[in-house]
Amino acid sequence: MTTTKSSQHRAEKRTRIAPATFNRRDLVKGAVGAGAMTFALGAQAPMIVRGQSKTNVTFWTTYTDTGLKNLTDIVNAFNKQSTDTNVKIVQIPPAEVTDSSKLITAVRGGTGPDVYLLDRFIVNERAANGLLEDLTDLMKKNGMNPDLTEDYIEFAAREATFDGKPYALPFDTDVRALYYNKAMIKEAGIDPATWDPSKGVLLWDDIKATAAKLNKKDTNGNFTQAGLVPWFDQGLPYTFGFSWGGTFFDKSKCEVTPDNDKIVASGDWIYNYAKDQGVDAFQAFIQAAMKPGAPPQQNPFIQKRMAMWITGDWSIQNLATYAPDIDYGITYLPVPTKGMNSTTWAGGWSVVIPQGAKEPEGAFKFMKYFAGPEGQKMYTKASSHVPTLKSVQADKSLYSGKHVFFIEKLLPTTKNRPPLPVGAKFWDELQTAWQKIYLNKESAKQAYGEAKQNTQTLIQQFCPIT
Amino acid sequence: MAKAIIAEATQTAEQFRSQRRAHWMRLFSQQVLPRIILIAVCALFLLPFYWMVVTALKTTPELAKYPPTFFPSALRWSNFRDATHVITFWLYMRNTAIITALTVIASVISNPIIAYGFSRIEWPGRDKVFLLVLATVFVPFPVLIVALFDIFAKLHWVNTYLPLIVPMFFGQAFWIFLMRQFLMGVPREISDAARIDGANEFRIFYEIVLPQALPAIGVISIFAAIYAWNDFLGPLIYLQDASKYTIAVGLAFFRSQHDFQYSLAMAAATIVVIPVIVLFLFFQRAFVEGITVGSIK
Amino acid sequence: MNPSTTVQTTVDESLSAAARAQGRTGRFHLPSRGERRNLVLGLLFISPWLVGFLAFLVYPIYYTFRLSFTRYSGFGQPTWIGLANYQRMFDDQVYHTALWNTFYYVALAVPIGVIVAMVLALAMNAPVPEVPVYRTILFMPSVLPLFAISFIFLTLLDPNQGIVNEFLREFGIHPPNWFGDTRYAKIAIVAIAQFGAGQVALIFLAGLKGIPQSLYEAAMIDGAGIASRFRNVTLPLMTPVILYDLILGVSQGLQVFTESYIITQGGPANSTNFYVYYLYANAFRYGGQMGYAAAMAVVLFLITFAIAILIFQTSNRWVHYDVT
């Protein structure tokens, strides 16, 4: 008990800086000089629409495009059936998933939203920072069990829990796989039927050989077509690290372990892939599509310029919308050596109430709907993601076509990122290491070693992590 | 004799030739070489603008063309309209204009008053304090953002324009300096005469000295306007609500938020840059004066 | 208004003016009534600056300094952790990278900036009649918003669609992927900075115009060529202006942020993760790191200060104030 977070916090209280010493009165006095201008501006700050009996709840999301549309549909459905709450969805600028700067600055400025859609593996970090409301009381009041594991699948519930308390309601989850354009791999002399998942798991080295045959360059050495850029989209440190059988966190030592042999081996494979097939050319080829929030139309697979694509279940919908004419297949993520089991990983999002929310009650009503059976069912059908509510996940009628493969075959093979109070920092460090590896700037061992060291300097203050 | 004449003739010819050579050298070093350098550098400096405008006018198929075309085959003017539709462009422009106007007003009020205290009144320690003013120019603003954000958050000023404007009411070191330089040049006699007539110091400032300083106030207004229009880090930190964004922040997010088409981005950039260029062309002289005052100590 | 007091003060003033004219009568003297009055008036006029200085500069610096000894997420209260944030800087390789990137940028952008500006100023000083046109063109980019210029360069230096790489290809040079390559991203940002050289060039030009023609004539009589005249007359006389630009340039260079934020987001592989960018990320992106960001701010302040002092210290070896 003495080692838990809360007692640690209590101990820290004694050494806190007294808030009164941050002298704010002087500043206010100084501001008086600004006179009428201050008032004129200050008055226009809060815009509250009055004369409405419903509670207004603001819901922020970084989703764009079809993702935003799917969320808006759920919000509209909620507003239609709710008698006392009206939710307004606000799209805020997307950035890297770990970048919550708009949320953080808004909450600190007292202008945050009531509900925020947060990538679930960051919940722990934001909760540790004190950005999020503890949902325990609201859940009890609404007749829900604060132990999220009862209704939600295990890993999602764990990600949404910090220090034994619920800080988020899990929304969706997702699974990564290898997509391939059948017509294009035929060009490389592969019979697409042999890649069918029923024929077993493929080998990464075979994928590499096939991809090399499909690379085409123009006279200037630029790719006009590529077989596979394995670090594009969901080709991430976690994807390959898990595929090689690595683990990213050692709980007993309270140590992140990107430098473990298996993860380094996966990095070496990427390093050599880039070296063998062209570092700079790849970079120019995918640069436009790699930007955060880049539109699907810039995706080389959708443009039929890339034969293979490591991505998630949601891409079924994107392909149906943007490239309905591509005949493609989906298979397990390949493995490094024959006989290994294929492993993939799952992430997903959740809804949280940031500190200082003006309408936490109304916010929770919406969250209960949004992350409850109604919202999850709508979202699963619209986006081909995977629900996190056990009851909804079991509902087979929600899945059709290629989506079934994800639920039946891939879901049992998933791992997930360790939910850490430094999850965002660790993610960023891994991404930087990843770039150094695929740009051939540093060996995997060196890059991942640095990622470990940089994360470790930060994680120590939270140890032990329970 | 004849030899001497010939020698003399060759000598003058030699002289003449060397004079000519000197002449040509001077012509080359003063007229030709600078022109070559200037024209080349100007072309280099104009290239980004040309590319901005040309890209802004390209059609989507032409934009995707590889290699890129230097002269567009068709001009798509509607890109400008489209660029202002994909984001709430005019709202951002309006917000920026409001902040700019208030910044100008604040600077024009505060800097002359402060500069007056540093130039037209003799008080012990004045010049030492003024050195302190100058020293603040070198304090990097980002050093302060962590604290300023926290302070403004506690005052509930975040997500309003107050953190951007209120500090302007307290003067900016460089603008105080400009104003002071100018006020030092206004003859002492006119204020002395007014003092003998019994005018109080503020009236002297307001009614006698200030009207003399209008050109300097013009320079400060322009500098303040450019500063506010171009500011990025401030609005990025303090403004969260999309309806309050300035065009700088709005455009930065435009990049991640929407289909980042170069044509639309460049159309938007063109519209943003034009007011500055116009202001610059109209008040070039004031710019030059303002900037060069800083150099002549 | 009482006329006698007015007369009295003007008398006092003329007396003190007379005292000034004779030079200070002594180090220690009681301030006269007029001096006291002027002190009050002077302070009154500069009071907005004084308040702003304390509220928006001194107090925030003090606040930052205190925060730098705490762990503070921006929510709740800061927790005192002593020197831990400063210790962390020694272990944090991203911090080292950011520091290195920033020094690299300053070491390249500032001297190149001086050279470019000097060449432009010398060219603009030539007696070419159409020089105002050139001046306008060269000066204009330096007043434009950096965020807009960043956008323009993003397009200009695009590896495939950009015109710069197209030119390079025309000349048979294999063009780099400017912002996508760790070797070139910083250099591209240095190039963007040169686009603003017009402003410094103008300051240099004003300096050049201040050099008396007689000095050149004297040098010419001594048989000095163009190069020698530049080295022995122009350059020494320009050193005060160059000093001014160096110090301001270094201070601004250490703050490089916007280009990195808009174009590269610190990438690729942290190659454009500059000091202020990393400070910003710690303060606002990784929610929990306000204390660390504050410590970084303190160090940045000290670095800026130290470099300015260093430049001043060396300046008496190369800056010439004597000739007018």
Chain C residues 139-168 with CB within 8 Å of chain B: 139-141, 143-149, 151-156, 158, 160-163, 166
Distance from C294 to chain B by nearest Cα, in Å? Answer: 6
Chain segment C82-139, per-residue pLDDT in tens: 999 999 999 888 999 999 999 999 999 999 999 999 999 998 888 888 888 998 999 9
Q: Examine the domain organization and report whether C160 and C56 are in the same domain.
A: no
pLDDT at A12 over 70: no
Is C35 at the interface with chain A, CB within 8 A?
no
Q: Is residue C36 part of a domain?
A: yes
Mean pLDDT of B188-199: 84
At residue C3, the pLDDT reads 39
Q: State whether C211 and C259 are in the same domain.
A: yes
C9, pLDDT greater than 60: no
Lowest mean pLDDT among A321-325, A348-352, B96-100, B270-274: A321-325
CATH 3.40.190.10 correct for A176-346+420-462: yes
Is residue A351 predicted with pLDDT exceeding 90?
yes
By CB neighbour count within 10 A (0-12 exposed, 13-18 middle, 19+ buried), where does C290 fall? buried
Judge: C287–A220 Cβ closer than 8 Å, yes or no. Answer: no
Does pLDDT of A247 surpass 90?
yes
The CA distance from A402 to A329, in Å, is: 9
Cβ–Cβ under 8 Å, residues B267 and B82: yes
**How distant, in Å, are the alpha carbons of A11, A66, C82, C212, C319 from that of A20?**
20, 48, 20, 60, 49
Q: What is the mean pLDDT of residues A255-263?
A: 95
| Shortest alpha-carbon distance between residue B295 and chain A (Å) | 32
Tell me, what's the pLDDT at B85?
84
Q: Supply A206's token pair.
A: 């075979």
Identify the DSSP state of A88: E
Q: Which of A287-291, B90-94, B264-268 is least confident? A: A287-291
pLDDT above 60: residue A361 = yes
Q: How far is CA B81 from the centre of its chain?
A: 28
* pLDDT of C21 above 60: no
Q: Which two tokens stand for residue B243?
A: 């309806």
In a domain, C23, yes or no: no
Query: Which tops the pLDDT comparison, A136 or A94?
Result: A136
At residue C322, φ and ψ (nearest 5 deg) are -65, -45
**Structural domain span for residue C51:** 31-60
pLDDT at residue B59 tops 90:
no
C3 belongs to a structural domain: no
A interface mutation test: which of B160, B254, B264 has the most A CBs within 10 A? B160
Closest by CA position to A138, among listed A360, A338, A444:
A360
Q: Which value does ipTM take for this structure?
A: 0.86
Contact A60, A90 (CB under 8 A): yes
d(CA A337, CA B3) in angstroms, rounded, equals: 101
C93 touches chain A (CB under 8 A): yes
Give the confidence band of B7 by pLDDT, cuts at 50, 70, 90: low
Same fold yes or no, A51-174+347-408 and A176-346+420-462: yes
Higher-scoring residue by pLDDT: A3, B107 = B107
Among A45-59, A307-321, C235-249, name the one with the lowest average pLDDT.
A45-59
C123/C204 Cα distance (integer angstroms): 11
Output the pLDDT for position A40.
41
- The predicted-structure confidence for C274-297, as pLDDT tens digits, reads as follows 999 999 988 888 767 899 999 999
- Structural domain contains residue C5: no
User: For chain C, what is the radius of gyration of the CA atoms?
Assistant: 26
pLDDT at A458: 82
* Cα atoms found within 13 Å of the Cα of residue C72, Cβ hemisphere only: 29
What's the mean pLDDT when you consider all of chain A? 85
Helices assigned H by DSSP within chain B: 2-27, 33-56, 60-63, 78-86, 89-119, 126-135, 142-154, 162-165, 173-185, 188-196, 201-203, 210-212, 214-230, 233-238, 247-257, 262-282, 284-293
pLDDT at B224 over 60: yes
Distance CA A32, CA B229 (A): 25
Residue C215 to chain A, least CA–CA distance (Å): 52
Residue A94's pLDDT band (boundaries 50, 70, 90)? low
Give the tens place of pLDDT for each residue, C212-221.
Answer: 888 888 888 8
How close, in Å, is residue A183 to chain B by CA atoms?
24
Please judge whether C166 and B137 are an interchain contact, meaning their C-beta atoms are less than 8 angstroms apart.
no
**A105 HSE (CA, 13 A, CB side):** 28
**Domain holding C271: CATH number?**
1.10.3720.10
Q: Which CATH class is domain A51-174+347-408?
A: alpha beta
Has residue C17 got a pLDDT over 80? no
Burial of A16 (0-12, 13-18, 19+ CB in 10 A): middle
What band does A292 get if pLDDT is binned at 50, 70 and 90? Answer: low
**DSSP secondary structure letters along A399-464:** --TTHHHIIIIIGGGEEE----TTHHHHHHHHHHHHHHHHTTSS-HHHHHHHHHHHHHHHHGGGPS
Q: Specify the pTM.
A: 0.83
Same domain flag for C137 and C278 = yes
Residue A97 contacts C where some CB pair is shorter than 8 Å: no
C294-319 pLDDT, tens digit each: 999 999 999 999 999 999 888 888 88
The DSSP string of A318-332 is HHHHH-TT--EEEEP
Q: Alpha-carbon distance C271 to C259, whole Å?
A: 13
Q: Do A178 and A204 touch, CB atoms closer than 8 A?
A: no
C-chain residues near B201 (CB < 8 A):
41, 45
Work out the pLDDT band at A294, boundaries 50, 70, 90.
low
Check CB contact of C10 with chain B, cutoff 8 Å: yes
Calculate how close chain C gets to A370, using CA atoms only, in Å.
26
Helix (H, G, I), strand (E, B) or coil at A55: strand
pLDDT of residue A36: 39
Name the percent of chain C lying above pLDDT 90. 45
Q: How far is B109 from chain C (nearest CA, A)?
A: 10
3-state SS string over chain C? CCHHHHHHHHHHHHHHHHHHHCCCCCCCCCCCHHHHHHHHHHHHHHHHHHHHHHHHHHHHHHHHHHHCCEECCCCCCCEECCCHHHHHHHHCHHHHHHHHHHHHHHHHHHHHHHHHHHHHHHHHCCCCCCHHHHHHHHHHHHHCCHHHHHHHHHHHCCCCCCHHHHHHHHCCCCCCCHHHCCCCHHHHHHHHHHCCHHHHHHHHHHHHHCCCHHHHHHHHHCCCCHHHHHHHHHHHHHHHHHHHHHHHHHHHHCCCCHHHHHHHCCCCCCCCCCHHHHHHHHHHHCCCCHHHHHHHHHHHHHHHHHHHHHHHHHHHHHCCCCCC
- Find the largest Cα–Cα distance for chain C: 87
Compute φ and ψ for C31, nearest 5 degrees.
-65, 135
What pLDDT shows up at residue B267? 93
For A197-216, how does the pLDDT look when each residue is reduced to its tens digit (9 = 90+)? 999 999 999 999 999 999 99
Cβ within 8 Å of residue A148, ≥6 positions away = A156, A157, A160, A161, A166, A169, A170
pLDDT digits (tens, 9 = 90+) for C27-68: 556 667 777 888 999 999 999 999 999 999 999 999 999 999
Degrees to nearest 5, angle at CA C35 with C32 and C38: 150
What proportion of chain B, given as a percentage, has pLDDT over 70? Answer: 93
User: What does pLDDT average to over chain B?
Assistant: 87
CB within 8 Å: B124 and C39: yes
Report the first-to-last Cα separation within chain C, whole angstroms.
Answer: 48
Task: Verify that C47 and C121 share a domain, yes or no.
Answer: no
| Sign, Cα dihedral of A118, A120, A126, A127 | positive
| Per-residue confidence (pLDDT) for residue B264, from 0 to 100 | 87
Tell me the chain B residues in contact with residue A295 when contact means C-beta distances shorter than 8 Å: 258-260
Strands (DSSP E) contained in A153-282 are: 161-162, 165-166, 169-170, 172-173, 176-181, 216-217, 223-225, 249-250, 255-256
Query: B257 pLDDT band (50/70/90 cuts)?
Result: low
What is the pLDDT confidence band of residue A21, given thresholds at 50, 70 and 90? very low
pLDDT of A251 over the 60 cut: yes
Helix (H) or strand (E) holding B65: none
- Would you state the pLDDT for residue C215? 86
Domain check: are C164 and C116 in the same one? Answer: yes
Of chain B, the percentage scoring pLDDT greater than 90 comes to 44
Q: What is the pLDDT at residue A218?
A: 81
d(CA A203, CA A331): 12
pLDDT digits (tens, 9 = 90+) for A101-127: 888 888 888 888 999 999 999 999 899
Task: Kindly tell me if the per-residue pLDDT of C15 is higher than 70.
Answer: no
Residues C38 and C163 in one domain: no
Q: Please report how many Cα atoms fall inside a 13 Å half-sphere around the Cα of residue A377, on the Cβ side.
A: 12
Task: Decide: A437 and C270 in contact? Cβ < 8 Å.
Answer: no
CB neighbours of residue B70 within 10 Å: 11
**Judgement on whether residues C193 and C55 belong to the same structural domain of the protein:** no
Model pLDDT, residue B1:
54
Same domain, C46 and C191: no
Give the distance from CA C242 to its chain's centroid.
Answer: 12
Task: Write down the domain spans for chain A.
Answer: 51-174+347-408, 176-346+420-462
User: Is C288 an 8 Å CB contact of chain B?
Assistant: no
Residue-level pLDDT at A322: 87
* pLDDT at C172 (0 to 100): 84
C166/A421 Cα distance (integer angstroms):
47
Mutation for B interface: C155, C164, C301, most B CBs within 10 A: C155
State phi, psi for A269 to the nearest 5 degrees.
-60, -45
In this predicted structure, what is the pLDDT of residue A354? 94
A190 vs A210, A214, A307, A310, A402, CA distance in Å? 8, 11, 12, 18, 21
Q: How far is CA A458 from the centre of its chain?
A: 21
Residue C267 in contact with residue C274, Cβ under 8 Å?
Answer: no
How many domains are there within chain C? 2
pLDDT at A34 (0 to 100): 39
Give domain status of residue C254, yes or no: yes
Mutate to test the interface with C, among B32, B49, B136, B143 (most CBs of C within 10 A): B143
pLDDT at residue B18 in the model: 80
**pLDDT at position A50, please?**
46
Q: Does C52 touch chain A (CB under 8 A)?
A: yes
- According to CATH, the superfamily of the domain at B80-293 is MetI-like (1.10.3720.10)
